[in-house]
Amino acid sequence: GIFLFRAGAMCDAFAAFAPDIWRATEAAYHAATSDLSGLYMPLELYSAIPSTSIDYAIVERADDIAMVPAGFRWNDLGSWQSLLDVGPSDRDGNVILGDVVAIDCENSYIRGDGRLLSAIGMKDVAIVSTADATFVAPVSHSQHVKKIVEQLEKSGRLETRFTPAHDRVIESGAWRRRVRHWLFEETLPLWSTVGVDHRHGGFHEALGFDAAPLMKPKRMRTQARQVYAFAVAKERGWDGPADRLIAHGIDFMAGRGRTDRGGWVRTLNVDGSVADPVEDAYDHSCVLLALAHAHMSGHPDALRLGEETFAFLDAHLEDSRMTGFLETSDGEGERRSNPHMHLLEAFLAWHQATGERAYLRRASRIIDLFRSHFFDAESWTLGEYFDDGWKPVAGEKGTWTEPGHHFEWASLLVDFAARSGQAELTGFARKLYASAVANGLNRATGLSYGAVSRQGLPLDTVSRSWPQAEAIKAAIALDGSGGPDLKPEIEARVGRLFRWHIDPAPLGLWIDRIDERGRSLAADVPASIFYHLVYALTQYLDGTAGEG
């Protein structure tokens, strides 16, 4: 039936007949958080609300109710036949919607959204064509639609969780001129000059919004990422002093940041003295990535330094049980999937640099961890924090997922699939991208949240610039992999990156942190983001060459 009531009357009824439901719901509501995209109750409190239908909980026990018969027609619209029954039909019993030409068709439901749809001689058939998919089936087979959905989900098709919006008809390459100008005329000239520490060596950790260097400790990952960014820029034809900058960075890193055992320290002071000597797997992945691209750019010592770093990695950071890598060389602390993702990135770069399959074998071990421990097949999400046995840690951290890392993994999986021939990995990449888009975006801004739970509840509502860059890379990687045309999606994501993070900032800089209402939270411009932006936007230029 259909129930009509005043809100106050139903509140009184719950208080009288189902107080346990009312109290549990109040507790969940009062503990909820909200932003422009909605209200989010804590999962444990929402799950504690008794699941009882309103019929049993209230209606069968209330006295002051009345049943009024109604004479209108009702249809649940649960089948194709029901759509035929209620829709405006032509003389042959067809319901036709959209730009459709139907000849000699009978009793068919034919709907076209967008492009012209033509049908001849169809009888008792449902045809639905949308922007990203086309469905054709006998009207009598409505109950089998679920089987199609299940099959699509098993193969990780984006269409199950992601549908391109009809109003986003954007020409591929529309952002090329702006992207090229920002990269080669604004940000690379800025960071290749004021971003370089000519006095103490290396690169500055951050700039202020007045483009003045900030005297912060220099993380090894940042030094390495700057080397990488300038090497990638050189590969894409930048005519700036890339070789000098690469050598400047590597001289500082190798001269000040090596440990006695051949590894790399975590942090240096501004003057180059050691601030934190810990040998961290994350930092070593960044160093390896930088050295691979430095080698491709012709740096004479990059290959030797890379070989020495791999030797250290195997001797001091590899888990003795052959289950991935330790967070640090002392083997303490929680284990994370993120350093392994960046090591996968580095291994693939070295395969690109040398062509040696030994680096693919290294990468395949990370892929095995992804399959067996990192990826959750039920929620299509990727875990972040684990114990020593690769079980998710207890509490909120065990449910923590980062959409930005989903995007990064997606592009790396596609890359590894192409190099190794393991084509099924593209399905995993689609699932990661789809879950990040479905559950990880702020619907008000369209930007990726910092983190969400496996159930899609926002845990970190700040939107940083790097996940938006990684979303561009993932969409580029997945475009043409067997799914919807993602070119409009790519253009839209480049547009969001510029709309929220780049265009509001001074020349060559970016707003790194934005709150859930689209307001800047940034106090400075971290150099560690530079490599995300350079690689994503150079990939965009590569993919749209000859367009725009």
Model confidence pLDDT, tens digit, residues 160-171: 666 655 545 467
The answer to whether residue 497 sits within a structural domain is: yes
The answer to whether residue 547 sits within a structural domain is: yes
User: 499 and 407, same structural domain?
Assistant: yes
Give 528-532's long-range contacts (Cβ < 8 A, gap of 24+): 528/205, 528/219, 528/221, 528/222, 528/225, 529/464, 529/465, 529/466, 529/469, 530/187, 530/191, 530/195, 530/225, 530/226, 530/229, 531/225, 531/226, 531/228, 531/229, 531/232, 532/465, 532/466, 532/469, 532/470
Q: Can you give the pLDDT at residue 87?
A: 86
The answer to whether residue 151 sits within a structural domain is: no
The domain in which residue 21 lies consists of: 7-59
What's the sign of the alpha-carbon dihedral 464, 195, 237, 285? Answer: negative
The answer to whether residue 261 sits within a structural domain is: yes
User: 84 and 25, same structural domain?
Assistant: no
Tell me the pLDDT tens digit for each residue of 308-359. 999 999 999 999 888 899 999 888 778 999 999 999 999 999 999 999 999 9
Name the H helices within 19-162: 19-30, 43-47, 54, 80-86, 145-154
User: 137 and 20, same structural domain?
Assistant: no
User: 294 and 436, same structural domain?
Assistant: no
The answer to whether residue 156 sits within a structural domain is: no
Residues 6+ apart with CB under 8 A from 306: 288, 291, 292, 295, 350
User: 260 and 384, same structural domain?
Assistant: no
Q: Can you give the pLDDT at residue 387?
A: 92
User: 313 and 211, same structural domain?
Assistant: yes
- What is the CB-side half-sphere exposure of residue 240 using CA atoms within 13 A? 22
Residues 6+ apart with CB under 8 A from 440: 401, 403, 406, 448, 449, 452, 456
Which of 294, 328, 345 terminates a domain? The answer is 345
Q: Can you give the pLDDT at residue 132?
A: 73
The answer to whether residue 188 sits within a structural domain is: no
Which CATH number goes with the domain that contains 520?
Answer: 1.50.10.10
The answer to whether residue 182 sits within a structural domain is: no
User: 316 and 437, same structural domain?
Assistant: no
User: 436 and 531, same structural domain?
Assistant: yes
Q: What is the DSSP letter of 346?
A: H
The answer to whether residue 176 sits within a structural domain is: no
User: 442 and 320, same structural domain?
Assistant: no
What pTM was estimated for this model as a whole? 0.79
Task: Kindly give the confidence (pLDDT) of every residue in the chain, 548 residues in length, as a single tens digit, with 9 standing for 90 and above.
Answer: 788 899 999 999 999 999 999 999 999 999 987 755 567 788 889 989 999 999 889 988 988 888 888 877 777 777 778 888 888 999 999 999 999 999 999 999 999 987 789 999 999 999 999 877 889 999 888 777 888 887 877 766 667 666 655 545 467 888 999 999 999 999 999 999 999 999 999 999 999 999 999 999 999 999 999 999 999 999 999 999 999 999 999 999 999 999 999 999 999 999 999 999 999 999 999 999 999 999 999 999 999 999 999 999 999 999 988 889 999 988 877 899 999 999 999 999 999 999 999 999 999 999 999 999 999 998 999 999 999 899 999 988 999 999 999 999 999 999 999 999 999 999 999 999 999 999 999 988 999 999 999 888 899 999 999 999 999 999 999 998 877 788 989 999 999 999 999 999 999 999 999 999 899 999 999 999 999 999 999 999 999 887 65
User: 443 and 529, same structural domain?
Assistant: yes
Q: Can you give the pLDDT at residue 164?
A: 57
Return the residue matching tokens 């009793």.
Answer: 107
Q: Using CA atoms, how far apart are residues 494 and 171, in angstroms rounded to an integer?
A: 12
Q: Can you give the pLDDT at residue 130?
A: 83
Q: How far is CA 93 from CA 38, 109, 118, in A?
A: 42, 9, 17
Instruction: Please give the single-letter amino acid code of residue 446.
Output: G
Q: Can you give the pLDDT at residue 158?
A: 66
Q: How many domains does the chain have?
A: 4
Q: Can you give the pLDDT at residue 548?
A: 55
Tell me the pLDDT tens digit for each residue of 496-527. 999 999 999 999 999 999 999 899 999 999 99
Q: Can you give the pLDDT at residue 81?
A: 83
User: 331 and 384, same structural domain?
Assistant: no
Q: Can you give the pLDDT at residue 513?
A: 96
User: 111 and 54, same structural domain?
Assistant: no
Strand, helix or coil at 505?
coil
